[in-house]
Structure 1
Amino acid sequence: MSLTARHRLNCLIAAILLGNVGAALANDEVAPPVIEADLLVVGGAESGCAAAVQAARMGVKRIVLVNDTNWVGGQFSSEALGAIDENRAHEYNGKVPIPRSGLFREVIDAMEDKNEELYGVRRPGNTRVITTCRPVIANEVFEALLQPYEASGQIQRFSNLRVKSVTVQDSRVKAVTFEPLAESATPLKVHAQLTIDASDWGDVIKLSGAPYDFGLDARSEYGEPRAQESPEPNTDVNPITWCMILVAQTEEALIPQPAGYDERDFLGQWKWIDDKFNFASRRLVDGKALKDRQQADIYLINNPQVDYPLDVFTADVAAALEAMEAGASKKQFVDLTPQQREIVFRDARLRTLQYLYFMQQKYPSFRTMAMSDEFGTADKLPPKPYVRESLRLKALHMIKEQEVVGAGAQSNYAQTMFADGVFSWQFELDFHPTARKWLSSEGAAGPWDATFRGQRKFGVGGTGLSIFPLRSFVPQEMDGLLGAQKNLGYTSIVSSSCRLHDQSMAAGQACGAVAAVSLLKDVSPREMWRDPQYLAEVWTGLLTQKDAAAVVIWPFNDVDPYDDGFVAIQQLAVRRLFPLAPHETSFRPDAPAEAEWVAEVVKHIQSQGYDCAVNAIMPTKTRREAAIALWKAIQSQPIPAYERQSPDDADGDGIADANDALPFTAGETSWK
């Protein structure tokens, strides 16, 4: 090992050990205080905040939200992903295939309001995504989202705490104990009836003993067309990225050469990424385009040059891990201790600083780019890395690639439109480079870049208009626990398409609704998908938002959540009361309510067991008015019970309910 590498190794180990002395002492000094809660939400990223707020809005009284930083909002804020990624069909065209909705719509509207105050325009980025927002502003928006419920006492929030242990009794999560990460924090134990794991790495799921997946899925496991034959290496996941925010200056703002800098790290396959690409692809504020305002350009740096694979580690990182524990460098990332993860995180941060130094040396335009000081960190980087893929909960249903691809075309509905769907999404099957490639004969001691493994690469196909099932929040073998954020019941391939800002918020909001119904109705989440009345409670919770945007559950592409007919249209659609073909993704609310169409819909509703007559809704001028009248006619009726063909196979199709994506529809696809 070279002197430079040995110096870096010693620094890594010393920093980690010193950084955890305070926490260790605090844990030894006093027993943690105990708080009783109805709902514990672990993780203050976008999904955790959404879950807590939705549960509060539905009437859960005692909610505890525990976060490992003092920033809230995850991708939007502490991970610095200020160029907002959201549902997308085939290309960046300034449009979304599903209307913005729910809490995502609320925070986006608030961020755009803030942009207008600051810059005079709602969307100042002039870049490939629709909306951009500085992370510090996003944090303020999430603080404001939580504030009314914190003020009322419904939500108690604790910051700078991480999961230490999980108490399990009779296969049920009973409590979670937290240890402090800052001097201002103190140890804490929370007893809760129900816990949502919205942490970055699924720490509650892991420590509870609930089964989970991590890394590649073999083709034989789920039958996915794009899966590899072998699940090796089992450490292969979508990489983390330590993003940075740069602000243009009038003078040079050069940083000193970071430790371990090697120009060759950035001369591999991604050397084509130049200053112009960085400036155009993820610009947060285009200061030069703003009229009558003096405003600097602001940029997010997030590209493959700073992607950080977790499959194998460099020699110095591996040595630091091995110095802590023999074999640690070969472990899956989620199986590392927090102290071991910190070794990896410090190297990922260093990689980003090295890249900035490289760009400043190579491009004059970068020499006047200064790192933003909005995060308040010593190195001016955000508190957290951008996490694309966590562990994946072994849930009642694992969503598979073949279930979410479009039925006949990518622009159509997905092959499988789950009966227990609770939110909708669409995106590419999209992996950033998951493999670390050595660029010289020095191997792990030399330069490297990030590369693709097999078919795990950018935009290899995409999903249809998909819906997410309630079952994929619920562990197969653990009660008192739900997964959220990216700790969900899907395969690695599907996770690559359901991980964006809006999707993570929708997952959290839907999970919060499931938790609320479970707590308020005293029913286990694992039973809710079987009973349409409980599903109806979840749907109503997501669709009934006072002075706020409801959630798009069924992905019609042309009905906005603020449309007068939105709730009625959604309530009918989630019950499958519109006769639809895979390509009929538009509802056309302003189209005439033709008598033939109304008669067909009424006949279909009657065939599902509802009492509904044509004369109860005619005459109506538009489809919107017809939907409102139809919903008014049946909304007080219970959802007709499904006549089970057998105790374990409701639809009698030979696929046991436990393995059936569509337990109430014969076959494996929603379309005939």
Structure 2
Amino acid sequence: MNADAVIVGGGFGGVAAALAACDKGLRVFLTEETDWLGGQVTSQGVPPDEHQWIEEFGSTKRYRDYRNNVRETYLRTMNVKNEEACFNPGNGLVSNICHDPRVTLHVLNEMLLPYVLTNQLKIELNTRITSVKKTEGTIHEMTFENMQTGNQYQVIAPFYIDATEAGDVLPLAGLEYVTGAEAKSETGESHAPDTANPNDIQAFTYVLGMEYRAGEDHTIPEPEMYQYWKEFHPTIWPDKFLSFYAPHPITKEKRKYTLFREETGFPLWEYRRIFDKNQFETPYHAGDITLMNWPQNDYFLGNIYDVAIVEKEKNEYQAKQLSLSLLYWLQTEAPRPDGGKGYPGLKLRKDIFGTEDGFAKAPYIRESRRIKAEYTIVEHDVSPDFNEGETGKKYYDRVGIGSYSIDLHPSMAGRNYVDIPALPFYIPLGALIPKDAGNLLAGCKNIGTTHITNGCYRLHPTEWNIGEACGALIAFCLKNNTQPNAVRNDEKLLAQFQDELREDGFELEWPEEFYK
């Protein structure tokens, strides 16, 4: 099978890459290990986590189209009481557009549909990459396997994008990559450790969805590992893990959480609430729905890539048991403001992800393998301590913009939160290009960041921008018979490519109103 571009991984970056490449007339082969496109916002159950300016600027046009399509889907299909311009389906705290993952799935499939109907875009779900043929710095062929049928595909293309959640192409292609934390001597970063630690990788999380139905009892059977997790008290934690206390991400002081809103404490329920029943008129008595992705179900006892299969399976099982145990604790033992215990009206909503156990189809992986890139983004590039003005380093080869603080969750090396300020930043093209593979691009969280800067480059709008830039770059290279690193290093080609990005709806500068 032949294509102009092969995209491995159908998450946000992969979908955005496919849209950009297909819009330019390329034939694209896109694979995804689960049966859902969308990655962190669909199969992993993490609503968009966005910066404060997202409604006006700070994303590509296609990302804005996606967000508008999500809202339009609700307004068209549901009886919404107040159709506000910035309608937030869940009234969640994490974003202005907290919503059910099935809505994004619908929207993304619809955005890709024109290319699927003409066979310009070939999508293979339930499909994983198994091998890569590469000589010197060029990838020649990739082999994929459908995990349900066992069918294999050999695909040849001039360009490839690794948009997997954990950088799965890198070890198969024999490319150099980094995991965990680099040493301060390697990066010069203020918050890097003195010694490199490849196991200093952020926690991953198995998300589940819950509806609250007051007065009902939906208590699940006691999970197999409940007694273990009930007594689990990490040294970096101020209380037992299954409690309403956790470290404050910045100060590390004991922070109080609550399930629902009270006079004091952070209301976990509202954080990633995806359905606020008070906003809709429904013929069926529906309750509020939220997604459990909280400090109390971050799993940091082991990793799920670059480990033996038995270790991977153990950690996945224990991570699921942690989330189930947290649900069971909430249902049976969590202290209530009235002095009672437990919220039995919490209902595990298995239908949200369409899985037998009710979990998201894939774990939410915050930190991927990372390419050794033409340019590596370091803390000083985004830190207010090392940049004058309102933004981080303005790279000459920028292909987008984004904003998020450096937010590192507890790690598998026993490190606590790292949460430090970061200026609104730029995305350098050099961070998308590996040093040792001229026709492969990084299209997800596997770009050339460090362990530190991964913390601000891993969120939804930035991942989309990264993937979309990869798709646009491949189209530009094919049209101009050139290579990605040549585009970056040729002043004329780079200017031409950046002009085309701007015409295509990319934002390469923070707008004037941002500085006012």
Structure 2 residue 507 is matched with structure 1 residue 552? yes
Could you tell me which of 353, 366, 373 is aligned with 2:343?
A: 366
Q: Equivalent residue for 2:298?
A: 307
Partners of 1:214 and 1:172 lie apart in 2 by 23
Using the TM superposition, give the Cα deviation of residue 215 of structure 1 relative to its aligned residue in structure 2, in angstroms.
Answer: 0.3
Structure 2 residue 272 is matched with structure 1 residue 282? yes
Using the TM superposition, give the Cα deviation of residue 97 of structure 1 relative to its aligned residue in structure 2, in angstroms.
Answer: 8.4
Partners of 1:154 and 1:529 lie apart in 2 by 28
Q: Equivalent residue for 2:201?
A: 237
Could you tell me which of 102, 105, 108 is aligned with 1:142?
A: 108
Q: Equivalent residue for 1:534?
A: 493
Using the TM superposition, give the Cα deviation of residue 138 of structure 1 relative to its aligned residue in structure 2, in angstroms.
Answer: 1.1
* Equivalent residues of 1:517, 1:534 under 8 A apart: no
Partners of 2:435 and 2:41 lie apart in 1 by 31
Q: Equivalent residue for 1:506?
A: 465
Using the TM superposition, give the Cα deviation of residue 417 of structure 1 relative to its aligned residue in structure 2, in angstroms.
Answer: 0.7
Using the TM superposition, give the Cα deviation of residue 407 of structure 1 relative to its aligned residue in structure 2, in angstroms.
Answer: 6.9
Relative to structure 1, is the Cα distance of residues 230 and 96 closer, same or farther in structure 2, using a 3 angstrom cutoff?
farther
Alignment of 1:93-242 (within 5 A): 98-116=57-75, 117-120=77-80, 121=83, 122-128=87-93, 129-183=95-149, 186-232=151-197, 234-242=198-206
Q: Among all aligned residue pairs of Structure 1 and Structure 2, give the percentage whose two residues are the same amino acid.
A: 27
Alignment of 1:436-475 (within 5 A): 452-453=415-416, 456-457=417-418, 459-462=419-422, 464-475=423-434
- Per the alignment, in what secondary structure is the counterpart of residue 515 of structure 1? helix
* Equivalent residues of 1:238, 1:496 under 8 A apart: no
* Equivalent residues of 1:98, 1:557 under 8 A apart: no
- After alignment, is 333-342 or 520-529 more displaced? 333-342
Relative to structure 1, is the Cα distance of residues 367 and 210 closer, same or farther in structure 2, using a 3 angstrom cutoff?
same
* Equivalent residues of 2:58, 2:401 under 8 A apart: no
Paired positions, count: 475
Q: Equivalent residue for 2:240?
A: 268
Q: Equivalent residue for 2:37?
A: 72
Using the TM superposition, give the Cα deviation of residue 557 of structure 1 relative to its aligned residue in structure 2, in angstroms.
Answer: 5.9
Relative to structure 1, is the Cα distance of residues 97 and 392 closer, same or farther in structure 2, using a 3 angstrom cutoff?
farther
Could you tell me which of 276, 287, 293 is aligned with 1:296?
A: 287
> Which string of whole-angstrom CA distances, capped at 9 and with x for unpartnered residues, describes residues 233-269 of structure 1?
x211121111111122352111111112122237526
Q: Which letter does structure 2 place at the counterpart of 1:36?
A: N
Partners of 2:59 and 2:440 lie apart in 1 by 28
Partners of 1:461 and 1:527 lie apart in 2 by 34
Q: Which letter does structure 2 place at the counterpart of 1:218?
A: A
> Which string of whole-angstrom CA distances, capped at 9 and with x for unpartnered residues, describes residues 557-590 of structure 1?
63xxxxxxxxxxxxxxxxxxxxxxxxxx44x8xx
Relative to structure 1, is the Cα distance of residues 57 and 300 closer, same or farther in structure 2, using a 3 angstrom cutoff?
same
Q: Equivalent residue for 1:85?
A: 49
> Which string of whole-angstrom CA distances, capped at 9 and with x for unpartnered residues, describes residues 5-56 of structure 1?
xxxxxxxxxxxxxxxxxxxxxxxxxxxxxx1111100000000000011011
* Equivalent residues of 1:86, 1:503 under 8 A apart: no
- After alignment, is 212-221 or 356-365 more displaced? 356-365
Structure 2 residue 342 is matched with structure 1 residue 383? no
- Per the alignment, in what secondary structure is the counterpart of residue 156 of structure 2? strand
* Equivalent residues of 1:235, 1:333 under 8 A apart: no
- Per the alignment, in what secondary structure is the counterpart of residue 476 of structure 1? coil
- Per the alignment, in what secondary structure is the counterpart of residue 36 of structure 1? coil
Using the TM superposition, give the Cα deviation of residue 411 of structure 1 relative to its aligned residue in structure 2, in angstroms.
Answer: 7.1
Partners of 1:492 and 1:97 lie apart in 2 by 30
Rg (Cα) greater in structure: 1
TM-score by length of 2: 0.86
- After alignment, is 286-295 or 382-391 more displaced? 286-295
* Equivalent residues of 2:381, 2:387 under 8 A apart: no
Larger RCO of the pair (alpha carbons < 8 Å, separation 6+): 2
Partners of 2:181 and 2:309 lie apart in 1 by 23
Q: Equivalent residue for 2:248?
A: none
Q: Equivalent residue for 1:406?
A: 384
Could you tell me which of 482, 487, 502 is aligned with 2:441?
A: 482
Could you tell me which of 338, 346, 350 is aligned with 2:321?
A: 350
Using the TM superposition, give the Cα deviation of residue 290 of structure 1 relative to its aligned residue in structure 2, in angstroms.
Answer: 4.2
Structure 2 residue 3 is matched with structure 1 residue 37? yes
Using the TM superposition, give the Cα deviation of residue 145 of structure 1 relative to its aligned residue in structure 2, in angstroms.
Answer: 1.5
Using the TM superposition, give the Cα deviation of residue 102 of structure 1 relative to its aligned residue in structure 2, in angstroms.
Answer: 2.5
Relative to structure 1, is the Cα distance of residues 343 and 557 closer, same or farther in structure 2, using a 3 angstrom cutoff?
farther
Alignment of 1:55-66 (within 5 A): 55-60=21-26, 62-66=27-31
* Equivalent residues of 1:248, 1:297 under 8 A apart: yes
Gaps of 5+ in 2: 234-238, 246-256, 261-266, 335-340
Q: Which letter does structure 2 place at the counterpart of 1:108?
A: R
- Per the alignment, in what secondary structure is the counterpart of residue 344 of structure 1? helix
Using the TM superposition, give the Cα deviation of residue 101 of structure 1 relative to its aligned residue in structure 2, in angstroms.
Answer: 3.2
TM-score by length of 1: 0.67
Partners of 2:310 and 2:426 lie apart in 1 by 37
